């Protein structure tokens, strides 16, 4: 098989995600399948590719820190918005160089949203077999 897929997609990467609370440390992350992104707890890495947000739920008040990078799509890097309690805490353009981000958090969920998503399939090659039969060799 020689499957091939090529796409131009904006991707935001949140690396080395860490939360240090005043009374606790730790957080939960909700990543909906609709985000197209992922959360990799062992690597402390999250990805965003659509406008559906990732939700961080801290264990209490404290400081969220991470390194933010991005991959261009249609010539532009991803733009990320961090919001808590209907208030925009930070809005940043990513780049291919890591940006250290530190955000003081209250004891409530933080949403992280890719606000300029872009994705386009450039090439997609597949092999479809509709009828297959076996011949016995004599």
pLDDT tens-digit map of 33-66: 776 788 999 999 999 999 999 999 999 999 999 9
Question: How many domains does the chain fold into?
Answer: 1
Structural domain including 49 reads: 4-125
Q: Are 106 and 62 in contact (CB under 8 A)?
A: no
Confidence of residue 132 (pLDDT cuts 50, 70, 90): confident
**Is residue 98 domain-resident?**
yes
**CA–CA distances in Å: residue 19 to residues 8, 59, 102, 103, 132:** 32, 9, 10, 10, 55
Q: Are 7 and 1 in contact (CB under 8 A)?
A: no
pLDDT, residue 25, reads 84
**Is residue 135 domain-resident?**
no
Q: Map tokens 């532009």 to a residue.
A: 76
Residue 16: is its pLDDT beyond 80?
yes
**Is residue 130 domain-resident?**
no
- The whole-model pTM stands at 0.83
**Is residue 136 domain-resident?**
no
Confidence of residue 119 (pLDDT cuts 50, 70, 90): confident
**Is residue 41 domain-resident?**
yes
**Is residue 121 domain-resident?**
yes
């Amino acid at each position: 098989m020689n499957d091939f897929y090529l796409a131009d997609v904006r991707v935001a990467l949140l690396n080395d995600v860490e939360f240090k609370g005043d009374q606790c440390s730790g957080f939960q992350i909700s990543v909906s399948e609709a985000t197209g992104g992922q959360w990799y707890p062992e690597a402390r890495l999250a990805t965003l590719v659509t406008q559906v947000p990732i939700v961080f739920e801290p264990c209490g008040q404290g400081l969220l820190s991470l390194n933010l990078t991005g991959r261009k799509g249609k010539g532009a890097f991803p733009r990320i918005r961090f919001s808590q309690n209907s208030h925009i805490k930070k809005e940043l353009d990513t780049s291919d160089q890591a940006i250290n981000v530190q955000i003081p958090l209250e004891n409530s969920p933080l949403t992280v949203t890719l606000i300029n998503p872009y994705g386009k399939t450039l090439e997609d090659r597949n092999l479809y077999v509709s009828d297959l039969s076996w011949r016995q060799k004599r």
